[in-house]
Chain A
């Protein structure tokens, strides 16, 4: 198993600003995953972050809006840029275990006003 520390746990931000979410894992992992969960919805994968290379973004998500850093094998950040109320969601980081079971941080509940 993996223990993931994600912060902040919640934030209220003004539109047009940016928020950086941090994710720290207690072990080294090759890939880290960032998800968005809009109110009442399921999880949608934003991107996969590999150490030493650019993140791979899913359809509908772009680097300019969601820049990701992965400076080492235990840490990653996701920035939500130029926020609008539509970005209000829960953002989750995740890693996979040996059987591809996913371990999650506690999530960041973002409200954009």
Chain B
């Protein structure tokens, strides 16, 4: 079964705007990760936030984690057309098992 439920399922914004995606999960985790997938290809790891961290930044990416609510958000600032992709959260539940969420399809319109 899927660990992460993401919303929205799809998001369309203008270039330059910010994009926010949310992920909710069900059980305790060691860390939460975000990935990008372009056109059904392999996923690319973007950022990892540990269970004892609340916020993390990497370039135009900002991730928050609220373990009390079992939720995370990914913010992409100043979006570009090249950011058009599907974004997945993934949770590390331990025992070398990473489970992927349902994904958000982002379209950035030039």
Binding site for B on A (CB under 8 A): 4, 6, 31, 33, 35, 37, 41-43, 45, 48, 90, 92, 96-97, 99-107, 109
Contacts and interface: CB of A to CB of B under 8 A. Distances in A.
A88 B35 CA distance: 23
Contacts of B31: 99-100
22 contacts: A4-B42, A31-B96, A35-B100, A42-B2, A42-B101, A42-B102, A42-B103, A43-B88, A43-B100, A45-B97, A92-B42, A99-B31, A100-B96, A101-B45, A102-B35, A102-B43, A102-B45, A102-B98, A104-B42, A107-B40, A107-B41, A109-B40
B33 interface: yes
Nearest to B103: A42
A111 to B, nearest CB: 12
User: Which size class do B's interface residues fall under?
Assistant: 20 to 34
Which applies to chain B's interface (DSSP): helix, strand, loop or mixed?
A: strand
Interface of B: 2, 30-31, 33, 35, 40-45, 48, 88, 90, 92, 96-103
